[in-house]
Every structure is written in C-alpha cells, then in structure tokens.
Amino acid sequence: MENTLLRKKTLELERENQQLRSQQRLAKKNEYRNTGFALILLGIFTLAISYFTYNNSTLASILLFAGLGTTYLGIISLFLSPERFVREEIMEKSILSSIIVINNIIQELGIHSKGIYMLADNEIKVILPLREDYELPQEIPRRTFNVGGPGNTALVLVPLGYSLMEMLERKGADWSDLAQALNDVLVEGFELAQSVEVAKGEDIIVKVNRPLFKNFCDRVSEEAPEICDIGCSFCSLIACIITRSTGKNIKIEQVEHDKNSLIARFSLS
C-alpha cells in the first residue's frame, strides 16, 4: 500500500516538474517581448502625464524625455532576441551534404560494422572497423585511415556531435549524472526536445520525446543510411555524452523513430 502511494506521489511530482520546466522555457522565450510591452506601456503612461501637466519647467521636460526614452527602449526590446537563428531548412541542407559525403566513403570502403565510440586521453573518436574481429587498440589511432594487419584496419572519424559536446564542456557542462546531463543539453540547453528518458541496464536506452530534429533524422536514414551506424549529428551528440559520462566504449546498436519520439539503444564495452 505504501509503495503504491509512493509511486503515485512520484508520478505526480514528475508531471508537476515537467509542467514547471515547460512554463520556464516559455517564460524564457517571452522575457524580451514581455519586457518590451511593459516598457512601452510605462512610456505611454509617462508621456500622457507629461502632456497634460507640461508647464515648460525642467521637471516637465525631464518627464517628457523619460517617457519618450522608455517608449523607445520598449519598441527596441520587442525586436531583441538572446540568440541568432538560422532557418531549419538551410541548416539541414548544409549538414546533410557533409553527411552524405561520409556515407559514400563508408559505402565505397565496404564497411558494414557498427561504429565504436572510444574515449582515450580525454578525446573521443568513432572507429569503424573493416572487419568484425577488429582488435580495439589501447590508444586512439591518429590517422583517419588506420591500416594495420588483416584484422586491424579501420576508419577513424571525429563524431558528428563532438563539436557540440566540446562547446558545452567549455561552458562548464557536468556529465556525472547522465539523465540530468541529457536533459540539460537537449531540453534546457538547446531546446531540441520536450523531455528525455534514460533507462540503464546491460544497455543504455535513451528516449527523446518530441524531438525537433526528427525530420532531419528521417532524411539522414533515407539518404545516408550508413551514417546510422555512427550516428547523425544529434544521435552522435548523445553517444558522445554517454561515452564521456560512463568512461566506456559504446556502440549505437539501434535507433527507432515514431511519430512523437526517437529511441536509441547504446551498448557498453
């Protein structure tokens, strides 16, 4: 009975937490607009007072200019944005062409293995072995085409999401709590999803609810299917964070899309 009540209370708290996060994101988006409207109303009110009480005195002149200045600042605030945005279509096209090039290289080399995300010397690379019996080295190979013995040849790439992770690390991101880290990045930071769920077992399963990049992932899986073995920019970002958080080598075993979510399964080694 107590366990049932505890679970019910936990679910209620989770729903309340989700609502509060949504309200916070909405307030963050509208803070400049709301400030602008408030300044305009204050400025108009000040101008009205100065107009009806103007008597050519110094105080009346100050009140008049204060009203004009406040109204002007309010109008400027309506056009302010804390970030600069690029149209989604332009961003997708610019990224997709590079992804298709990498996909074609993988196909030409006849690589059909899963990419291995490897962490060594505080650096992450994704290794694509030419053969399944590839022996993972202790250190990350420095050459893109790492040619060794018959079982030690691989393509070594910088993960597509690595630059995003580095940017977050420079801003002080903390990867110690994986679930919290993914929420901070995808939901609170980049605002790319409504929520993120993480299930840990033998594998790590990440469910991204209402991802804004779903259409992009769909296009990548159609036009550059080999990339799904190493991850597109967003799945790769998740893989990099998991690698950094766990300190283990990982593979993207499976990625599934449905109408409202993306589910990715990562194996650890």
Is the pLDDT at 196 greater than 90? The verdict is yes
Tens-place pLDDT, residues 220-260: 888 888 888 888 888 999 999 999 999 999 999 999 888 88
* Span 124-138, average pLDDT: 85
Please tell me the least confidently modeled range out of 23-32, 157-166, 169-178, 181-190.
23-32
Q: Could you tell me which residue, 218 or 206, shows the higher pLDDT?
A: 206
User: In degrees rounded to 5, what are phi and psi of residue 122?
Assistant: 60, 25
Q: Which residue has the higher pLDDT, 87 or 75?
A: 75
Residue 29: pLDDT above 70? no
What CA–CA distance (Å, rounded) separates 51 from 218?
60
Q: Could you give the 3-state DSSP secondary structure of residue 113?
A: coil
The two counts, helices (H) then strands (E), for the chain are: 7, 8
- The residues that bridge with 205 in the sheet, in sequence order, are 199, 265
Domain boundaries, the chain: 2-78, 88-268
Least confident of 76-85, 147-156, 184-193, 240-249: 76-85
Q: Is the pLDDT of residue 212 over 70?
A: yes
Query: In this structure, which long-range contacts are made by residues 136-140, counting pairs with CB atoms below 8 Å and at least 24 apart in sequence?
Result: 136/249
Per-range mean pLDDT, top range of 13-22, 75-84, 192-201: 192-201
Contacting residues for 22 by C-beta, under 8 A, at least 6 apart:
194
CA 135 to chain centre: 32
Residue 44 burial by Cβ neighbours in a 10 Å radius (0-12, 13-18, 19+): middle
pLDDT at 31: 59
How far, in Å, CA of 263 to CA of 269, rounded?
20
Is 218's pLDDT higher than 60?
Answer: yes
Q: Which residue has the higher pLDDT, 1 or 74?
A: 74
In terms of pTM, does the model score above 0.85?
no
